[in-house]
Amino acid sequence: MDHQVLTAALFLAVVALTLFITIRASRQTSGAADFYAGGRSFSGFQNGLAIGGDYMSAASFLGISGAIALAGYDGFLYSIGFLVAWLVALLLVAEMLRNSGRYTMADQLAYRMKQRPVRTAAATSTVVVSIFYLLAQMVGAGSLVVLLLGIDKENTLAVSAVIAGVGALMIVYVTVGGMKGTTWVQIVKAVLLMVGSALIVVLVLAKFDFNLSELLGAAANNSGKEGFLEPGLKYGIDLTHKLDFLSLGLALVLGTAGLPHILVRFYTVPTSRDARKSVLWAIGLIGVFYLFTLVLGFGAAALLNTGVGSDVASSEGNLASPLLAEAVGGGAGSTGGAILLALISAVAFATILAVVAGLTLTSSTSVAHDIYNSVIRKGQATEAEEIRVTRYAAAGLGIVAILLAIPARNLNIAFLVALAFAVAASANLPSIVYNMFWKRFNTRGATWSIYGGLISAITLVFFSPVVSGKTAVTPDGETISKALFPLGVDFHWFPLENPGLLSIPLGFFFGWLGTVTSKEPAAEERFTELEVRALTGAGAEQAVQH
């Protein structure tokens, strides 16, 4: 059986299923709370699944298992920060945000600050983080889908069509289904992802008699790399690489709870207690999922050729999981192999769709709710007007993302995901934490911490090796650029690829500096109100009763 035909059929099935869900959800959507927050009526468990669906991107599913397949232990090390990060969300952010906000990240700041400056700042940061993340996902989607369907990646028309198709689907999910549609797409994706990877994990482990040590030994042997099971293969090369990983680790741990598309998920449940439950479920799911990637990655290293020039190595690890599925299904050319390969490819496709939909909804909501209604219309826009603007914004942002992703498809932009986490940790988290816990924090502090963190992170990355100067040598001995700019352009002076080590402290510093230099009196009454509301839920937004 030809696996590419089967893959294409399953892709179409995913599209049909998600569109059906979206249309169904649109029939149950009637007002702003429905459109932006799914009526606040999802259960903690449902929202936990949706958080998993929003968070476990193709970069985690294919990227982390690929990183483990190629770099062994260091790939696993990378996944841990993504999980531990959820404790910040659980302990400091989720419940309080649910109680004090409404639709966007900015709501919580606007509670005790001057509306227009803080909403403008928070919306800017939301859109910037979302666009970075979105661009990385869409370019990744383009190259992945052509890879999985076996289209020649030099075929410009086909790759562009795939990117445009993904973009068009995401616009439809958001404009038609709103938060309800998007949430259900994410729930379905999370279930597919967990079931699909569990199946491969069991098949891999069965090959090694469910003995982890044996799997690791086989992986180390087959990889042919010295120290494959020990830290250092990827990040331990020299001091710069080590500091770079520390910087990345900080951004992952502190950035997750500042990602706008994650924050808005806490508004989709009825109470802060459900927000807590959803994070608990998410921690369970995401933790188990990263344990799966451990088996998938080492399984790929043990069972596949990952040497120089292999399919796994030349796809930078992205093909490790799909090819592993084919191998445990019976190998290339077998029916079992074809079925499992197609299945895992469809899961990866669903993964991409769910993540891009969440990002688009969040950024367009912020454009409509924070910028259009609060800043431009001074809060006078009706709900219907605001939702209409959200739909336009989603279509606009989607089209911009498609138009940017098509020319960027052959550029090295994988750093954008790490940059999104760094911006979230440097710009968003300081303002959220200060706002909740520091009485004196004020408007200038909030805007300075957001702009300060945002500009620091972006400036440092602009002058880092990922934008100019990073090179690699191909198996043929040719030197190629691994940076955004082509070979020969090199204006980098910041040595690290990840800015977090510097930009996160800068974000906190600017928040402090802005606060203490401002003459604005602290809104003490409003802080009292925020504290009571955040901790008790008194006066918090209610679920929609249908």
Partner 1 sequence: MTSDISPHDMAARHDPVYDELHASPEFAELKRRYRGFAFPATAAFLVWYLTYVVLSMWATDFMSTKVVGNINVALVLGLLQFATTFLLAWLYSGYSTKKLDPLARELDDRFVSLAGKASHGRSEH
Site for partner 1 in 117-156 (CB under 8 A): none
Q: How far apart are CA 467 and CA 459, in angstroms?
A: 11
What minimum distance in Å lies between the beta carbon of 15 and partner 1?
33
Q: Does residue number 179 form part of the binding site for partner 1 (CB under 8 A)?
A: no
What minimum distance in Å lies between the beta carbon of 469 and partner 1?
23
Q: How many helices (H) and strands (E) does the chain have?
A: 24, 2
Q: How far apart are CA 53 and CA 110, in angstroms?
A: 29
Neighbours of 475 (CB within 10 A): 10
481 three-state secondary structure: strand
**Is residue 336 within 8 Å of residue 355, measured between CB atoms?**
no
HSE (side-chain half, CA atoms, 13 Å) at 78:
26
**Torsion of the alpha carbons at 123, 128, 132 and 138, rounded to the nearest 10:** 50
249, 258, 297, 500: residue in contact with partner 1 (rule CB under 8 A)? 249
Q: Does residue number 541 form part of the binding site for partner 1 (CB under 8 A)?
A: yes
- Which of the residues 264 through 303 are near partner 1 (CB under 8 A)? 270-274, 276, 279-280, 283-284, 287, 290-291
- Which of the residues 380 through 399 are near partner 1 (CB under 8 A)? 380
- Compare residues 17 and 229 and give the one whose CB is closer to partner 1: 229
Q: Does residue number 178 form part of the binding site for partner 1 (CB under 8 A)?
A: no
Q: Which residues contact 103 (CB under 8 A, 6 or more apart)?
A: 32, 36, 37, 264, 267, 365, 369
β-bridge pairing 471-473 and 479-481: antiparallel
91, 308, 480, 489: residue in contact with partner 1 (rule CB under 8 A)? 91
Q: Which residue has the tokens 């690699």?
A: 472
* Stretch 15-54: interaction string toward partner 1, x if CB under 8 A: ----------------xxx---------x-----------
Q: Does residue number 234 form part of the binding site for partner 1 (CB under 8 A)?
A: no
15, 17, 19, 87: residue in contact with partner 1 (rule CB under 8 A)? 87
What minimum distance in Å lies between the beta carbon of 245 and partner 1?
6
18, 29, 99, 363: residue in contact with partner 1 (rule CB under 8 A)? 99
Q: Does residue number 77 form part of the binding site for partner 1 (CB under 8 A)?
A: yes
**Is residue 53 within 8 Å of residue 218, measured between CB atoms?**
no
- Compare residues 23 and 91 and give the one whose CB is closer to partner 1: 91
- Compare residues 11 and 245 and give the one whose CB is closer to partner 1: 245
Measured between alpha carbons, how far is residue 239 from residues 5, 15, 242, 247, 460 in Å? 48, 46, 5, 12, 18
**Amino acid code (one letter) for 426:** S
6, 171, 193, 216: residue in contact with partner 1 (rule CB under 8 A)? 216
- Which of the residues 434 through 473 are near partner 1 (CB under 8 A)? none
Q: Does residue number 82 form part of the binding site for partner 1 (CB under 8 A)?
A: no
19, 26, 214, 315: residue in contact with partner 1 (rule CB under 8 A)? 214
- Compare residues 113 and 432 and give the one whose CB is closer to partner 1: 113
**Angle (deg, nearest 10), helices 156-207 and 272-303:** 80
Q: At 306, give phi and psi (nearest 5°).
A: -115, 15
What minimum distance in Å lies between the beta carbon of 527 and partner 1?
9
Q: Which two tokens stand for residue 237?
A: 């090369």
Judged by CB under 8 A, the stretch of 12-20, 78-86, 502-510, 512-520 that binds partner 1 is: 78-86
